[in-house]
Amino acid sequence: MFDLIIRNAQVFDGLGHPGVQADVAVKEGVVAEIGKVTGQAKQEIDAKGLSLMPGIVDLHTHFDAQVTWDRTMSPSPALGVTTVVMGNCGFGIAPCPAPQRETMMKNLSVVEGMDLTSLLTGVNWGFETFQEYMDQLREIKPYLNTAVFVGHSVVRTAVMGEAGSEKAEPSPQELEAMCQLVRDAMNAGSIGFASSFSPNHSGYAGRPMPSTIASEQELLALTGVLGETNKGVFMMATGSRATPEVMEKVSINSGRPAFISTVLSMYNPANPDLAITYYDKTAEMRARGNEVYILTSCQPLSFDFTLAEPYPLISHSAFDAIKNKSADEIKKVYLDPAFRNALRENLKHPKTGILFLGDWKYLEVGETALAEHADLEGLTIEALGKKWGKDPLDAFFDLSVKENLETHFTGKFFNHIDEGVAPLLKHPSAVVTLSDAGAHLIYMCDAAFGLHFLSHWVRETGYFSLEDGIRLLTSEAADRFKIPNRGRLLVGSPADMLLFDPATVGKSKVATLNDLPGGGSRKVRSGLGIHGVWVNGCLVHDGKDYVELEQGPGHVLDRFDH
């Protein structure tokens, strides 16, 4: 007697083979049989007309804090995801000595766009060490299979406290203490080490995130621990300082795969040839025997934001003038011609890695706060400027100030032109991921990246076949991060499965929920065309809502391929 049989589905194995009409039987959380199943099951589902694939593997999430109060890890299960990796860019919450908790949360709230009150009131601090965090995850029993990076900014804060954002060179004793924390985490089952040199990663009150001021020598010492243990992967939000050549140096030094995450590898019409050079360089590195890849987004890099908290713009130096200021003081800054002229100069000479480069047709009015401005919603700032007879920059700030900084804007900054993005997604250096699920909740929800890929890149544009798109979202992602036996639908594999309708699969528009601890709000999406999501054979989402479970079926992943 099987636990579950899904009958008459078009079954995709996740390895790139065409789908086949078959039944899939599950017993004790594992795929027991694929084909014409003659046995019986406690539950049977007729999936005629639907497709069954392995669950989506999301390599780039930030659920580290949320999972301590929300075992469902919403919204990812609703979006077809069954396996996640947390702690990317080096921004996690473990290890964290008790005296550093507030510092860690304040930095995390800014760099990952999270509600500070929710973090301070919601995180369940049943841990200090990385091992204790992993143990707590096992007690939580999350809905999703979960792997965790140990992070550069985290270990810097754990050892150096607030000085981690101030002191570029740790003492030899501090550096060794950081290395030991990485060793401890690897021994406790971390998937690897993550860091950031990105100029877009600022912490609380405008302070730099700790890793962004660290030296290359420090980075090599910490990633060298992966070489000592001969396991784990390295990912980094690189910015301009950690060039592909630096990442190759890390890979050579550690002997482990290295993964680049940067807006510089996203298609940008202002510099259309830049991104592909990153991909070609890393292909040459692999040809030399050094594993360097690029974490690649299949979606436009877009943000919903207000000018009260202008996250996508803050890395322009003109915005230094609003740091640590009240809303009334910020409005005065925005009305000051000196501020606007300073920003104009920033836009003429943007620093490398900046998100917004001054193309006002890719920034639009989202949601207005005043009824008299409702007709402006959906207008680009370029169009708003023409409508009001003003320079777009002036129209942008004037509208926000009139609405007491409550206007929501949506910016599409990179990866928003298909013809430029498709060659990147097809490149052998690409690893499709970058959802940032659990982060930037004030501005966006990109957790539906897999459903977007299936709807846009497979069905709507035809750039990818369904079987190849599924491979990129499942086995390819799992294999690159050395996650064993996930992302495939084979006899003997864990029954992580997504049942969907290829004709309607996709993502909803962004909605706002006020369901965070302390009443904080977040942006979420739901899935379209989803008929069921199973993790280790257990239904976690039926396509309409989460299944209430006393304990989640997700495994805390702590063993990885070499």
Q: Any idea which of 151-155, 368-372, 412-416, 444-448 has the lowest mean pLDDT? A: 412-416
- CA quadruple 294, 295, 298, 300: dihedral, nearest 10: -100
**Which is nearest to 120 in space by CA: 130, 111, 107, 136?**
107
Separation between Cα atoms, residue 164 and residue 160, nearest integer Å: 5
Tokens 């992070």: give the residue.
151
Categorize the per-residue pLDDT at 239 as very low, low, confident or very high, splitting at 50, 70 and 90: confident
- Tens of pLDDT, residue by residue over 307-331, are 998 988 988 999 999 998 999 999 9
Q: Is the pTM higher than 0.75? A: yes
- Tens of pLDDT, residue by residue over 138-159, are 999 999 999 999 999 999 999 9
Do the bridges between strand 530-535 and strand 497-500 make them parallel or antiparallel, or are there none, so unpaired? antiparallel
Tell me, what's the pLDDT at 147? 98
Please name every residue paired with 45 in a beta bridge, in sequence order, or none if there are none.
6
Separation between Cα atoms, residue 154 and residue 94, nearest integer Å: 7
Residue 444 has pLDDT above 90, yes or no: no
DSSP tally for the chain: helices H, then strands E = 16, 23
Tell me, what's the pLDDT at 353? 62
- Exposure string of 392-427, with b = 16+ CB inside 10 Å and e = fewer, is bbebbbbbbbbbebebbbbbbbbbbeeebbbebbeb
Tell me, what's the pLDDT at 462? 97
**Average pLDDT value over all residues in the chain:** 95
Tell me, what's the pLDDT at 549? 97
Contacts 24+ apart (CB under 8 A), 223-226: 223/193, 223/195, 223/250, 223/253, 223/254, 223/256, 224/179, 224/253, 224/254, 225/179, 225/182, 225/183, 225/186, 225/193, 226/186, 226/192, 226/193, 226/254, 226/255, 226/256
**Which is nearest to 54 in space by CA: 33, 79, 81, 27?**
81
Please spell the DSSP secondary structure of 246-265, one letter per residue: HHHHHHHHH-S-EEEE-GGG
Q: 516 in the Ramachandran plot: left (φ > 0), alpha (ψ -120 to 50) or beta?
A: beta
The amino acid at 30: V
Categorize the per-residue pLDDT at 268 as very low, low, confident or very high, splitting at 50, 70 and 90: confident
- Tens of pLDDT, residue by residue over 406-426, are 999 988 888 989 999 999 999
Instruction: Give the neighbor-by-neighbor strand order of the sheet with 258-261.
Output: 56-58, 81-86, 145-151, 192-196, 233-237, 258-261, 292-297, 430-433
Tokens 């500070």: give the residue.
116
Would you give the distance in Å from CA 111 to the centre of its chain?
13
Domains of the chain: 56-300+415-541 (3.20.20.140), 304-414 (no CATH)
- Tens of pLDDT, residue by residue over 115-132, are 999 999 999 999 999 999
Measured CA to CA in angstroms, residue 165 lies from 151, 214, 221 at distances of 14, 9, 19
- Tens of pLDDT, residue by residue over 62-99, are 999 999 999 999 999 999 999 999 999 999 999 999 99
Please name every residue paired with 196 in a beta bridge, in sequence order, or none if there are none.
237
CB atoms closer than 10 angstroms to residue 335 = 12
Share of the chain above pLDDT 90, in %: 88
Separation between Cα atoms, residue 486 and residue 7, nearest integer Å: 22
Pair 363, 410: CB distance under 8 Å: yes
Tell me, what's the pLDDT at 355? 78
The number of CA neighbours under 13 Å toward the Cβ of 371 is: 0
Q: What are the backbone angles phi and psi of residue 323, rounded to the nearest 5°?
A: -65, 135
Q: DSSP character for 55? A: P
Residue 489 has pLDDT above 90, yes or no: yes
Q: What is the CA radius of gyration of the chain?
A: 23
Categorize the per-residue pLDDT at 460 as very low, low, confident or very high, splitting at 50, 70 and 90: very high
**Which is nearest to 488 in space by CA: 78, 84, 31?**
31
